[in-house]
Structure 1
Amino acid sequence: MKFPSFLFSFLVFFILASGEQQAWAKNGWPKCPENGRNVEIFMETSMGDLKYHKGLNSRQLSKMRGNVGRRLGPMWIPTGLTVADENYHLKTGTKIYQLGRGRFCAVLESAQLFIGYRNIDVYISNKYRQGSCEHDSILNHENVHVQIFRDTLYKHAGGIERAIRKKAPRIGPVYLRSANAAANKLQRLLDAQIRPLFKRMSSDISRKNARIDTKANYRREQAMCQDW
């Protein structure tokens, strides 16, 4: 289970283009003094601060998990839960040039991307004593979820970083009559290139987690212990 957070922000720097630098663009506007090819890229990933919680009962876990348990049937009682706060945060620095007559061009100066987890929380029902067969079975199951979150992030992070390094220098320049609109457009153009890769990672995580949250797998795990 995960709670996604999608954030983006931008910084804008204004520069007045000099007459010597200006050339005529195809649309009749002065050409942007920069082509936007020199973009500083910063990428951060986080595997999450892992914490274990043992103070909730099965009813509370069921409420936290929401509708997920319904597909397993009315007899299903949750005994454990793993929650990862999945994050995507893109921040761009933009350089704006005034081209005169209320015209602006914008290029990316920097792009900072964070993907990963701030926290991963594992909950185990307080019905089961620590060290018991049932407790250890739940713990092992939830630790598989933790490994799925972390392994899948590791698997996708390299490709996402390569993509932003390749695509960011190809964004812009953007020509508009509003400096803020130009900066926003650059942000949206880069976000449109990178966010689908993050969503692909998120879908991969969901598929892998669903494979172990099945009736058949729960039956196999529960068959190893007697006091459920």
Structure 2
Amino acid sequence: MASFREIAVNGLWKNNPGLVQLLGLCPLLGTSNSMVNALGLGLATTLVLACSNAAVALIRHSVPDTVRLPIFVMIIAALTTCIELLMRAYTYELYQILGIFIPLITTNCIILGRAEAFAAKNGVLHAGFDGLMMGLGFAAVLLVLGSARELLGTGALLGNMQLLFGAAAADWQITLFPHYQGFLLAILPPGAFLVLGLLIALKNHIDELVAARAPRPADDAAPVASRRVRVTGVIE
């Protein structure tokens, strides 16, 4: 069983759903044209993922293999329905903007994949924590995408935050470029592909730098081996 630290690093960086596994790309690309949309969907997905993992781990010994996947889907669908009803009640305008992407959380490959690959094989605490970290990793990629596309497209950040946090967040918008004419490509679907590609390239570059700086035991052992060979030759 993996430690909580390993689960956190795995979900947030090493096996990030959006940058490494490349799962859930449809909502990732379709709703990341602004920060509020990205944050809303990211939080909804994280809640469903954490709760579904915990629920699957709780009943894993009682579910026969023949009906395992249908039961997992029913659990995920029930939790998604709860999130959908909550958004209708408290963030109705944001719910309308996100549209079909909220019900489609049920079929998100990340959620079903973690239920099958991790939650069905681990305890409730580890499974719930894995779901939380995977969800936060997915939400983080969504938020970075939304921030970059909103900034490039409109020259501002934190626009329309009242859709998620209420009237108190109406003045949160930060205009960084007052006379910016806008970059339409950034908030269109092709812009999502371009920004996501740059994020994946940046992560891979960081991983390569970290790997290059990591110490290699083989390099430290090589000089010792060579000295032993030379000493043996002198004795002979």
TM-score by length of 1: 0.30
**TM-score of the superposed pair, with normalisation by structure 2:** 0.30
Which structure has the highest helix share of the two?
2
Greater strand share, structure number:
1
